């Protein structure tokens, strides 16, 4: 009967690993130069081969390791049963699969190895041992553990999805924000965390991106609507990054609940709007005073017996003019909450100028307005967009009033198409030929409470509130300025994604025909 050593020698010879007289050159080079641990164990776990990488990982030279029982010597007690189960699968000839376990080094420390193994059989096809190849992944697992600890400690939800939109990983913060535990969320479509219209559009967008590479959300911070497990919608910001692997991608999103920020922004917006109403009071009084005088004079003539029909027409016309001014002012000061709808930008311009244009011109400033014909509508809150335009107009007016240079003072308001065919936008510009914004403060101009008009009652909220409103509309607000030449604020807003966004009236908007009831 053959001894174990001769059985293994014969088996390895059939595998081509050694020659009949001992290890061959290819086998020796493979084992001794490999960056992986290579072991040969007998069926009862005796160590028969121990390469230089094993010496390095375990801290035990080959001369000491050969002949020892691997399980008893190098496996922690708590993992022995699991490892023996995997070894049993290999010896039984089950399909190969990798497994991972900690091992003991001579100094008492533990390393983590990922294994692949194959059985060795004798001439009767009976398993007499196995060859195991192990990769030391201790550092990688340590890094992974530290990374997971960091992710678990982040207070913002972090969610990873696959190419189908299925959640594959989520940190504990998702439960605080969304009400779903990570365990509940993994395996579900990420759309369960989205409010409309994002919930319905997400899978189509993801598929389109994978097919065309067209980006809409990846690599930028977007304001969207999230949905909690209880069905409550809330505003949030999300940034999405892509991680490419072998033949597939993963997408990681970081979400920030902006409910409190939005509430504070709305309060600041309302405060700034009410401050603007006070600012406009004198101008509105002047705008109303002229038609009131006309009405009084016409009524006096009628009372004195003048039966000219035109006098009554003038009274009606001037009364409607007053109603229009008051309606616009009331509409501006009213809080419209979350109402958002396709909005004509020329309506926004006209309504804003109706309550502030006259006063600006009375202060010796010329107003020019140029609006491109048949502009598509934007999706927004008309009152908030009106507030943005009003802030920009008042800033331009204040700059020109304070400008002591003798010149023709001008504010120019324009609106035109912009963007691209894929992402059309409306571009609204307010430009004045005043002293401009000093270059050293341009980077701070949108910061809350920063103002260059502190001595003239400036609060420093107008531009910061305006920036918040524009961002909430998925738009852009930027400044370009040349000292002692001009200052221009540009607002870019996405076109409303509705079929009727192109359905604009060809006739200019006229005065209101009936007073508000």
Name the one residue in this structure whose structure tokens are 């852009």.
476
pLDDT tens for the chain, residues 1 to 517? 334 455 655 655 554 444 444 455 566 677 788 889 999 999 999 999 899 999 999 999 999 999 999 999 999 999 999 999 999 999 998 887 789 999 999 998 999 999 999 888 888 888 888 999 999 988 888 777 777 777 777 889 999 999 899 999 899 999 999 999 999 999 999 999 999 888 888 888 888 888 887 777 777 888 888 999 999 999 888 989 888 766 778 899 999 998 887 777 667 666 665 666 565 555 566 667 778 888 888 888 888 887 888 888 888 888 887 877 777 666 655 555 556 788 999 999 998 888 788 888 888 999 999 999 999 999 888 888 988 898 899 889 988 998 888 889 999 999 999 988 888 999 999 999 998 888 887 777 777 666 665 554 455 567 877 888 888 888 999 999 988 889 999 999 999 875 344 444 333 333 333 333 3
Q: Is 16 helix (H, G, I), strand (E, B) or coil?
A: coil
Q: How would you class 326 by CB atoms within 10 Å of its CB: exposed for 0-12, middle for 13-18, buried for 19 or more?
A: middle
Q: What are the distances in angstroms from CA 120 to CA 10, 85, 126, 128?
A: 10, 17, 8, 6
Q: Which residues pair with 486 in a beta bridge?
A: 482
Q: Is 484 helix (H, G, I), strand (E, B) or coil?
A: coil
Structure tokens at 433: 């030929």
Q: Which residues pair with 46 in a beta bridge?
A: 69
Contact of 167 with 190, CB cutoff 8 Å: yes
All domains in the chain, ordered by first residue: 4-141 (3.30.450.20), 154-257 (3.30.450.20), 262-502 (3.30.565.10)
State whether the Cα torsion 506-508-510-512 is positive or negative. positive
Nearest to 491 by CA among 505, 513, 473: 473
Contact of 36 with 135, CB cutoff 8 Å: yes
Q: Residues 463, 469, 470, 471: what is their CA dihedral angle, to the nearest 10 degrees? A: 110
């Amino acid at each position: 009967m053959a001894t174990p050593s001769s059985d293994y020698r014969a088996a390895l010879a059939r595998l081509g690993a050694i020659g009949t007289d001992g290890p061959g050159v290819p086998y020796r080079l493979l084992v001794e130069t490999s960056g992986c641990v290579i072991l040969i164990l007998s069926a009862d776990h005796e160590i028969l081969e121990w390469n230089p990488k094993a010496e390095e990982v375990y801290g035990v030279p080959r001369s000491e390791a050969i002949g020892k029982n691997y399980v008893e010597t190098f496996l922690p007690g708590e993992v022995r049963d699991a490892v023996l189960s995997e070894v049993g699968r290999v010896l039984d000839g089950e399909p190969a699969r990798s497994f991972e376990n900690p091992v003991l080094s001579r100094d008492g420390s533990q390393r983590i190895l990922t294994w692949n193994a194959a059985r060795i059989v004798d001439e009767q096809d009976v398993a007499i041992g196995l060859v195991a190849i192990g990769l030391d992944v201790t550092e990688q697992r340590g890094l992974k553990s530290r990374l997971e600890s960091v992710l678990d400690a982040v207070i913002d939800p972090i969610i990873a999805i696959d190419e189908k939109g299925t959640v594959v990983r989520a940190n504990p913060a998702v439960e605080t924000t969304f009400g779903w535990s990570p365990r509940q969320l993994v395996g579900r479509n990420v759309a369960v965390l989205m409010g409309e219209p994002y919930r319905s559009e997400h899978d189509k967008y993801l598929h389109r991106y994978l097919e065309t590479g067209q980006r809409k959300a990846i690599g930028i911070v977007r304001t969207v609507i999230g949905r909690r497990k209880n069905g409550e919608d809330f505003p949030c910001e999300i940034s999405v990054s892509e991680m490419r692997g072998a033949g597939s991608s993963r997408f990681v999103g970081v979400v920030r609940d902006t409910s409190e920020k939005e509430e504070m922004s709305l309060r600041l917006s309302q405060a700034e709007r009410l401050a603007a109403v006070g600012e406009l009071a004198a101008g509105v009084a002047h705008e109303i005073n002229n038609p009131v005088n006309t009405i009084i004079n016409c009524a006096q003539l009628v009372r004195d017996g003048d039966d000219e029909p035109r006098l009554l027409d003038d009274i009606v016309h001037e009364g409607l003019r007053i109603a229009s001014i008051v309606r616009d002012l009331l509409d501006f000061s009213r809080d419209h909450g979350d109402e958002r709808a396709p909005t004509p930008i020329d309506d926004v311009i006209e309504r804003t100028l109706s309550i502030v244009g006259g006063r600006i011109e009375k202060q010796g400033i010329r107003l020019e307005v140029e609006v491109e014909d048949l502009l598509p509508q934007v999706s927004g809150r008309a009152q908030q967009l009106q507030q943005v335009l009003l802030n920009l107009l008042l800033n331009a007016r204040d700059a020109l009033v304070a400008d002591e240079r003798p010149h023709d003072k001008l504010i120019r308001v324009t609106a035109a198409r912009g963007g691209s065919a894929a992402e059309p936008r409306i571009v609204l510009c307010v430009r004045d030929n005043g002293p401009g914004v000093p270059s050293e403060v341009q980077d701070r101009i949108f910061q809350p409470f920063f103002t260059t008009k502190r001595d003239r009652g400036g609060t420093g909220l107008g531009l910061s509130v305006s920036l918040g409103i524009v961002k909430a509309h998925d738009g852009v607000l930027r400044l370009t300025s040349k000292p002692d030449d001009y200052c221009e604020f540009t607002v870019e807003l996405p076109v409303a994604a509705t079929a009727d966004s192109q359905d604009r009236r060809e006739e200019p908007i006229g005065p209101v025909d009936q007073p508000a009831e």
